[in-house]
Amino acid sequence: MPDKLIFKLIARDQQHSDFDWMNIDCGNVRVGKVRGLINSKKLIVYSINIFPEFEEHGYAKETIEMFQADFDTIIADRVRYTAIGFWQKMGFEDKGDGSYIWHSLRAKKRQRSC
């Protein structure tokens, strides 16, 4: 398992972008970035990029697990064919449009209640 990761959100109003960006650091070293959109308890992930020299250390898995602890719904937008297995292992389901979706148990319970 990787060392403790540090996640730093760079919100849209702090930069010149229509997206929320998050740096993924391990100690003082940047190991990757995430581009997405946050809307309350929903996150759309447009890209998660672990830099090549840091791949195979579990950083992407740990990042998604952190997202799953904080959001009710996560959509992985237009998943690359080579990444489908990763998203499925993380509990995401195919939406049928190239995207994959995950709902927390608390979100599923709210959907079922009247």
Q: Go through the domains of the chain in sequence order and give each one's CATH number.
A: 5-112 (3.40.630.30)
Instruction: Using the Cα atoms of residue 54, residue 33, residue 92 and residue 107 in order, give the sign of their dihedral.
Output: positive
Low-confidence stretches of the chain (pLDDT < 50) are: 1-2, 112, 114
CB 92 within 8 A of CB 101: yes
**In this predicted structure, what is the pLDDT of residue 59?**
95
Adjacency order of strands within the sheet including 73-76: 5-10, 20-26, 29-39, 42-50, 73-76, 100-103, 93-94
**In this predicted structure, what is the pLDDT of residue 106?**
67
Nearest to 19 by CA among 46, 49, 56, 42: 46
